[in-house]
Amino acid sequence: MEIGLVGLPGCGKTTLFSSLTGKQVGGYSEKPNLGVANIPDPRLGIISQFIPPQKIVPATLKLVDIPGVPPGSDAKKLNGFLEHVRQVDAVCHVVRCFDEGMPVDALGDIERMDTELILADLMVAESATDKATRTARSGDKEARQRLEVLGKVSELLNETTPIRQRDDWTDSERKILKSYGFITAKPVLFVANVDESDVAGDSDHPRKVKQLAESTGAGTVVVSAKLEAELAELDDADRDEMLESLGLSEPAIGPLARGASDVLGLTSFYTAGEKEVRAWSIPIGASAKEAAGSIHSDMERGFIRAECYHVDDLVNFKTEKAIREAGKLRSEGKGYVMQDGDVVHFLFNV
């Protein structure tokens, strides 16, 4: 899954993207910047204490730095921006909460971005409604369902309310929403980009962003992109020392990745052996068979069963042999719903 970074010019999203992914970005480009960030996970270290591997492989977060659209840009640039946003699974809206010679208007910036996205969705809804209305006249059942959903969508958008703020969509309605690529239906994580002197987000602007996120069901994290850029240039020892001096326990990728996982509805499971200890991200509610498929399609196709235990079991019993002897090793079938923190051995045959 991909999360797209958006924001008004000067918000610091590209600086944040570069520091999180280690990918340096040149001047302005109309094409998105693509990168991958490792997700810090203390449970990998815990597992590795008891099952020492040759390497540790964290789960990753795919980030897309979507080019901003300066005020007054032509329709072509705006449409290009909107199309890029439609392609991602969730939106990470970077909001400027620092003062560098310009007045700060965090909530106004969010409103301006939301207005553009709502207008774009409204155009899609109007066009789709016309088509569905014509088709529904012939008695097409699916067209009538689409028309009903589009009516709810138009009502929300005309009230300048993002589609995601309605929380009673059924699964079938969500499929219809996804088929149209509505941008404001996507989950959102607000990133309050603060000055280095306000890393806790105690000042007025990040607090307002947090309050807005809470009231609209969005996620929120506070980071300093400028600080992250400085941390990215340090070795581990100097970085840890700088973090400690600022009262921080980890770089921004930690809280940002957890926030992104929450809005994307992701959870983690682990595989462990002598070659590697590895974290995997899957949707909450995924089955054991689907989890096997996240590793390799052959494992899903030839799935037999999953042998599972929890990370906490490894802490309590120290070895997999002891876990088995204590009766804590579970043999689960293809319909088992994976739990956060499961350590799994998949048995399959192809």
Q: Where are the domains of the chain?
A: 285-348
Per-residue confidence (pLDDT) for residue 292, from 0 to 100: 97
**Global pTM exceeds 0.85:** yes
CATH code of the domain made up of 285-348: 3.10.20.30
Mean pLDDT per 10-residue section of the chain, whose length is 350 residues: 90 89 75 89 95 95 86 77 92 93 91 93 94 85 91 95 92 92 94 91 94 92 90 87 86 84 91 96 95 96 97 96 96 96 95
> Which amino acid, 296?
H
Per-residue confidence (pLDDT) for residue 99, from 0 to 100: 87
Q: Alpha carbon of 16 to those of 108, 142, 195, 271: distances in Å?
A: 21, 43, 13, 30
Distance of CA 42 to the CA centre of its chain: 19
Q: What gap in Å lies between CA 210 and CA 232, rounded to an integer?
A: 26
Per-residue confidence (pLDDT) for residue 213, from 0 to 100: 94
Neighbour count for residue 204 (Cβ, 10 Å) = 11
Q: Which of 63, 165, 161 is nearest to 114 (CA)?
A: 161
Strands 330-332, 303-310: pairing is antiparallel
